Structure formats: C-alpha cells, structure tokens
C-alpha cells in the first residue's frame, strides 16, 4: 500500500532513478512488512531549481545528489521499524548505487487502511 | 478543500487529463460532500519511468493506462463514503473516458480543518 | 523538518519560483518555529492544464498566478500559529513578489516526529 514519491535531480545515467525506486521498495518489504508486489511510485527528475535543500542542516553535508523519498503508508509501524527502514534505504542506496548516505531524505505520511483503492474502485483493505 | 494530485502517463489525447480531473472532482461532490466549486488539482503527465506500478498486486491486472489519484482532504468521511467515492471514480473513468477500472489507484490523506488556506492568507475553515 | 511542495505555472521570470520558496521557508521560521537551515522543497512549474483551480471558490478571485503550497510538517502547531503562517506567506508573497494574495493556496499535512530521516539513514527526531 505505500505510495512513494521520489524526487531527484536529472542528469544521472539511464535507469538510475528506477534503481533508486527498486531499493526503496525492497527495503520496505524487508523492514516494515510491505507485501510482495505492493510497489507503486511516482519518480520525478528535476532540472536545477526544482529541489531546494539545505547543505548542512543537522550537521549533514548534502549535495546535488540529494534524493527526497516521501512514502504514504498505513499507520502502525513502530519507531524501531521506521529506523530500520531509514537505515536500510540509505545503506543500500550507498552500497549499490553510490548515493551518499547524507543525500537521502525520507518522509513518511501515515493514513488509515480504508484510505486506499488499488483498482476496480474497491477499498481492498477496508 | 481537497487538494488532488493526479499522476498518469503522457501520450493521451489532448484534454484527457483534464477530463480525468473533472471526473474525480464531480465524484467527490456526489459521494463525500465536497462543496461546489471546491476544485483544486495538480495533474502531472509522466514519460516512461515516471510511474512505477505492479501489474498484478492483489490480483488486479494493471497496464500503462494506470492513473494515481492522491487526495488530501479533511478527515471525517465514513468508510462507506470512501467506498462510494472509489467506486464512482472508477466507474465514471471507465464509462466516460474508457479507463480500465483496474488502472485506477486512489490514496486519501486526511488532515484537520485548520490546515487549509484558500487564499488571502486566511484559514477559511478554522 | 518541513518538506514543502510548491506548484505554480511556468512562464514567470527566472528566479521567481526560488523566491517563492524562500518566502515560504522564512515565514515558517518566523511563525511556526521551523529551525534555521531546515529548508527542503520541491518546486514544480507546470504548463497550462497542470494546475486546476476554481476561480471563485469561497468568494476569492483566483487567476493564473495561482500557487499551491503543500507543507508536510510535524504536528503540534496551534491554530493561531497556523493562521499566522498563512497570513505571513500571503502578505510577503504579495509585497515582495507581487503575487496576488488571492492566489496563495496553502495545505498542511501533519506527521509524527519519528517520520523523518534527514540523511545518513537516521531518524534524527525520534
């Protein structure tokens, strides 16, 4: 059920953004019980000016490789699960795609389970 | 008060996306008491790669005609009202615009009424 | 911690959208205790058809200069703080950038503090 919005700068190699999306999805299945095949994302690549970020907020040095990941999902995950999600996304983006861990910003928006329809006009989780 | 974000693939005929938006708005007025004229939407058409979707999650066969509809709105609608909204959006998109009902994904994000300003810097609902 | 999404029509002078973002950020620091340097935004300029708005909902006359500002932030701000935020954004966009106050639509989405990672895969607020 997550709906993921990924925003990053354009100019990366072909397929990069899709790989970012795949890492985010797989990390959700590993850490916060997102089901198999439950993968829905909007990925937007921005020209300069489309992403505003502070280069040092909280002492973290960010650069043009910044990636915003905003996930709308059902409430109910514990703080520990969320922490595991953040850690795994950042670690895998770094080790597999060379993203700097400092450049990974994640935002969760939680909703109730009747707030989704995955097709056919039906509230599949209600 | 809803703010609707619609994401779909580019390449449809001129006016198609606007018609999708109109159906979504009208379905909200019919099923969840959205007022007349309360129509605010962001519609984004994406090149290939901009929308990631699973082609069979929950047994629903999705294709490139997939449409994501994410609605930020005030809380307070019942589960039955939400179900009616999903059903009417999918049915009308199908019958009026030829959208496959399987390709209609809807996500609601609920907020409190003081979280809106509709112009003039005033919290009109607070 | 706010993540701000700003949507407006394209065609303004170079730098206009960035100035809008700066006003929104500064207004948040003044009215709702957003920390220094906590500035993260996605700014999207749309061709005609990308933004749907009603030209007179609630008696407010809107035009093509419409700007949607959606802010995801931690819950806890009072209604009075939110009202002050709306007023300051609209006033400063008008006086500094010539935006019509009628054209400023603001939407807040509140989340809990463990729903953020600002880099390094860590939940900095949890």
**B32-88 pLDDT tens trace:** 999 999 999 999 999 999 999 999 999 999 999 999 999 999 999 999 999 999 999
Q: How far is C100 from chain A (nearest CA, A)?
A: 23
Please indicate whether, in this complex, the C-beta atoms of A39 and B46 are within 8 angstroms of each other: no
**ipTM score above 0.85:** yes
Instruction: Say what the pLDDT of residue B1 is.
Output: 82
Which of A10, A24, A50 has the highest number of chain C CBs within 10 A, making it the mutation to test binding with C?
Answer: A50
Contact C15, A52 (CB under 8 A): no
Residue identified by tokens 């709702």 is C32
Q: Return the partners of chain C (3 or more C-beta pairs < 8 Å).
A: A, B
Nearby residues of B95 by Cβ (< 8 Å), 6 or more positions away:
none
What superfamily does domain C3-115 belong to in CATH?
Macrophage Migration Inhibitory Factor (3.30.429.10)
The model's pLDDT over B81-121, given as tens digits with 9 standing for 90+, comes to 999 999 999 999 999 999 999 999 999 999 999 999 999 99
**For chain A, first and last CA: distance in Å?**
12
Tell me which residue in C51, C86, C107 faces B122 most closely, judged by beta carbons.
C86
The model's pLDDT over C49-103, given as tens digits with 9 standing for 90+, comes to 999 999 999 999 999 999 999 999 999 999 999 999 999 999 999 999 999 999 9
Q: How many helices (H) and strands (E) does chain B have?
A: 2, 6
Closest CA to A107 of A75, A51, A68: A68
Instruction: Say what the pLDDT of residue C77 is.
Output: 98
Q: Return the partners of chain B (3 or more C-beta pairs < 8 Å).
A: A, C
Dihedral pair phi/psi, residue A17, rounded to 5°: -60, -40
Interface contacts (A, B; CB < 8 Å): 105
Question: Would you mind telling me the total number of residues written for chain A in this entry?
Answer: 126
Q: At what angle do helices B16-31 and B79-97 cross, to 10 degrees?
A: 150
Contact C54, C105 (CB under 8 A): no
Q: How far is C41 from chain B (nearest CA, A)?
A: 16
**For chain B, first and last CA: distance in Å?**
12
Residues of B in contact with A119 (CB under 8 A): 58, 60, 62, 90, 101-105
d(CA B86, CA B2): 15
d(CA C44, CA B58): 33
Higher per-residue confidence, A117 vs C1: A117
Residues of C in contact with B121 (CB under 8 A): 86-91, 101, 104
Low-confidence ranges of chain A (pLDDT < 70): none
Q: Provide the chain C residues 25-84 that lie in CB contact (below 8 A) with chain A.
A: 25, 35, 37-44, 72
Name the maximum alpha-carbon separation found in chain B: 47
Dihedral pair phi/psi, residue B119, rounded to 5°: 130, 160
d(CA B125, CA B118): 9
Nearby residues of A33 by Cβ (< 8 Å), 6 or more positions away:
A77, A81
Instruction: Say what the pLDDT of residue A17 is.
Output: 98
Instruction: Say what the pLDDT of residue A108 is.
Output: 98
Residue B48 designated active-site: no
| Beta pairing class for C40-46 and C3-9 | parallel
Name the maximum alpha-carbon separation found in chain C: 47
Please indicate whether, in this complex, the C-beta atoms of B102 and A121 are within 8 angstroms of each other: no
Q: How far is B9 from chain A (nearest CA, A)?
A: 11
pLDDT higher than threshold 90 for residue C33: yes
Closest residue of chain C to A78, computed from CA coordinates:
C114
Please indicate whether, in this complex, the C-beta atoms of C110 and B109 are within 8 angstroms of each other: no
Question: Which residues of A are known catalytic residues?
Answer: 2
pLDDT higher than threshold 90 for residue C1: no
Instruction: Say what the pLDDT of residue A1 is.
Output: 81
Question: Which residues of C are known catalytic residues?
Answer: 2
Q: How far is B22 from chain C (nearest CA, A)?
A: 9
Instruction: Say what the pLDDT of residue B32 is.
Output: 98
Q: What is the pTM of this model?
A: 0.98
d(CA A50, CA A64): 11
Tell me which residue in C3, C111, C121 faces A91 most closely, judged by beta carbons.
C121
Partners of C40 in the β-ladder: C3
d(CA B82, CA B60): 20
Is C113 within 8 Å of chain A by CB? no
Residue identified by tokens 């056919």 is A120
Output the six-digit token pair for C45. 């300029």
Closest residue of chain A to B81, computed from CA coordinates:
A114
Question: Would you mind telling me the total number of residues written for chain C in this entry?
Answer: 126
| Beta pairing class for C3-9 and C67-74 | antiparallel
Residues of C in contact with B109 (CB under 8 A): 109
């Amino acid at each position: 059920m997550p709906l993921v919005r990924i925003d990053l700068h354009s100019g990366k190699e072909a397929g990069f953004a899709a790989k970012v999306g795949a890492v985010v999805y797989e990390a959700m299945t590993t850490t916060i019980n997102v089901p198999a095949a439950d993968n829905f994302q909007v990925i937007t690549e921005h020209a300069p000016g489309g992403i505003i970020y502070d280069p040092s907020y909280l002492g973290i040095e960010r650069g043009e490789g910044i990636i915003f990941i905003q996930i709308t999902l059902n409430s109910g995950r514990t703080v520990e699960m969320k922490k595991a999600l953040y850690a795994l996304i950042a670690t895998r983006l770094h080790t597999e795609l060379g993203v700097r861990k400092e450049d990974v910003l994640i935002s969760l928006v939680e909703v109730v389970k009747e707030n989704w329809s995955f097709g056919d006009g039906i509230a599949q989780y209600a």
